[in-house]
Structure 1
Amino acid sequence: MPLLSVVLPTFNSGDFVVETLHSLLAQSFTDFELLIMDDASSDGTWERLAAFDDPRIRRHRNAFNVGLPTNMNIAMAMAKGKYLARVDHDDCALPTRFEKQVDFLEKNPSVTVVGSQLEHFHDQAGITGLPPDDAMIKARMVEGANYLANQSTLGRLDFYRAHALQFDPNLYVVDDLGFWMDCMLHGASFANLPEPLTRYRIHENMTSRTLRLDRLYASKDRIYRRFLPLLFPRLRGHECEHLLTLYRRPQDMPQTLAHMVGLHHAARSALSEIDTRWGQSASGCQQSILNLLNGARQGFEALGILRPEHATVLDLIFQSR
């Protein structure tokens, strides 16, 4: 039995997937199976992958397109390893990625999932600054950004199976956020290694540049309508509905001063009590809410809805908590 199962979900991956696959087969750590999960590609992806001959490769092709969350769930059911790693079809793993992440989990049995920083390449360059520790990773989930890089993660498969954890096919794009939140609520502990171990390709056809915003907003509503009241127990129903709009672009919020006042009242209520039973940082949760709120304020200022005298009133509302 392999120690590690590596999942490579593919769909119309073009030429990028060949480079991805080469990076996986060149890993310094070799005790793994590679599950290539093709979601009914129609651009020759399956044929490109068929040219690779390596005993570690297991290929699966869906008869019809089922979507990424369901494709991942199929892979998790097929996996035979102790650990499960995820790689996106347009990214590349640096040569020591699996070696360093497996070694980390072997030496840190209390940690459930370990990620790493990302090195951007292709259209952009740079390295992410994701938090290393569990408490801040969980707090950043409140903001929905800069917590874990999904394509860099390696976790304990027995934990996922023990809690029947799966990716939600009703979530568009943010199925990974929903999955990690479910892991958190079942007692998972997270970490990010400080160095980049995955190269993240920035290109014009990547999912984040071709989003359906209506579907994305509906998915975020589904996640945070459940998540926010758990972390902020004094948050009332109508206040939660106000805060859900923080996960939209300012131009897609109700563009009234009254809505901004309601947001400040709701944020004040939320931060009056923070439940940290899942190990998240209280100050980090507070900062996540403030970052969302400040982003909305800046957007309203840019749209000409919020003037300096309004900002003073809003500050007084929030500071009175």
Structure 2
Amino acid sequence: LQDALPLCNYPLVARVDSDDRCLPRRFETQLDFLEENPTISVVGGQMRELYTFRDCVEEAIRLTPTDPSTLVQYAKFRNPMNHPTVMFRKSDVLRCGGYEECHLFEDYLLWAKMLVSGYTLANISDVLVETDINDDYFRRRGGIDYLKDEVTLCSHFVQLGFFSLVDSILFLSTRAPIRLLPRYARQHIYRLSLRRKRTKRPKTG
């Protein structure tokens, strides 16, 4: 990401994952938003996650805060942006140093750098992207190595001045138990506690 960003020819850059699906008018909606809000550097949106089971598909929305001031507080506990949904002003991101190496958390670190530097981030209430979730998603979000990556992220946050030592302790104390749980238990917590607007529909095909 860091190598590719300077090669982009346009002032606005949209993040797109190859295995996600952008909903109709995603880019139009974000372009209009950034044109109407010139002081906002990054805009994201809500993301629909599809969990496929044997006989049904469960839909859940990963909600992120739409109010910029609420977003700052939210960022102390969780990633405030759904990375696959973001569109940003290239110049603002590069002025903050762009994406830095931070395994699995390059985007979260970038948002923290931008907030500390005084840039404004926001989300719109629309669902912009849809993604499929499988067992590997939950497997990758657990284990000692993942927890070590979160410790590294906290270290960056403290160096930035985004986190105090107390912030780091609170952040890690809420995450460590989840990372060390068995995959099926972690999946249950994500589905029931960390996602909102859950609905089910029969599986087709």
TM-score when scaled to structure 1?
A: 0.49
How many aligned positions are there?
A: 175
CA distance in 1 between counterparts of 2:171 and 2:62 reads 26
Residue 249 of structure 1 is matched in structure 2 by 176
Matches within 5 A, 1:1-321: 72-123=1-52, 124-145=58-79, 147-163=80-96, 165-169=97-101, 171-206=102-137, 208-211=138-141, 213-228=143-158, 230-231=161-162, 235=165, 242-243=169-170, 245-250=172-177
Give RMSD over aligned pairs. 2.6
What SS does structure 1 have at the residue aligned with 2:88?
strand
Contact 2:116 2:162 in 1 (8 A): no
CA distance in 2 between counterparts of 1:251 and 1:205 reads 16
Structure 2 gap ranges (5+): 53-57, 181-192, 194-205
CA distance in 2 between counterparts of 1:88 and 1:194 reads 20
Quickly say closer, same or farther: Cα 1:137–1:248, change in 2 above 3 A: same
Deviation at residue 218 of structure 1 after TM alignment: 2.2
Structure 1 gap ranges (5+): 1-71, 254-294, 296-321
CA distance in 1 between counterparts of 2:2 and 2:156 reads 22
Quickly say closer, same or farther: Cα 1:244–1:127, change in 2 above 3 A: closer
Deviation at residue 252 of structure 1 after TM alignment: 7.0
CA distance in 2 between counterparts of 1:232 and 1:94 reads 35
Bigger CA radius of gyration: 1
CA distance in 2 between counterparts of 1:175 and 1:125 reads 27
Segments ≥4 residues shifted beyond 6 Å: none
Aligned-pair identity (%): 23
TM-score when scaled to structure 2?
A: 0.74
CA distance in 1 between counterparts of 2:87 and 2:23 reads 14
Judging by fraction of residues, say which structure has more strand.
Answer: 2
CA distance in 2 between counterparts of 1:251 and 1:102 reads 37
Deviation at residue 194 of structure 1 after TM alignment: 0.8
What SS does structure 1 have at the residue aligned with 2:136?
coil
Deviation at residue 160 of structure 1 after TM alignment: 1.5
Deviation at residue 104 of structure 1 after TM alignment: 0.4
Cα distance per residue 1:88-146 (max 9 Å; x no partner): 1221101200000011001100100000111222523122332101111121111124x
Quickly say closer, same or farther: Cα 1:76–1:252, change in 2 above 3 A: closer
Contact 1:220 1:247 in 2 (8 A): no
CA distance in 2 between counterparts of 1:241 and 1:190 reads 22
Deviation at residue 250 of structure 1 after TM alignment: 2.4
What SS does structure 2 have at the residue aligned with 1:205?
helix
Quickly say closer, same or farther: Cα 1:174–1:247, change in 2 above 3 A: farther
Deviation at residue 199 of structure 1 after TM alignment: 0.8
Quickly say closer, same or farther: Cα 1:189–1:241, change in 2 above 3 A: closer
CA distance in 2 between counterparts of 1:150 and 1:160 reads 14
Contact 1:225 1:244 in 2 (8 A): no
CA distance in 1 between counterparts of 2:39 and 2:6 reads 24
Quickly say closer, same or farther: Cα 1:213–1:247, change in 2 above 3 A: farther
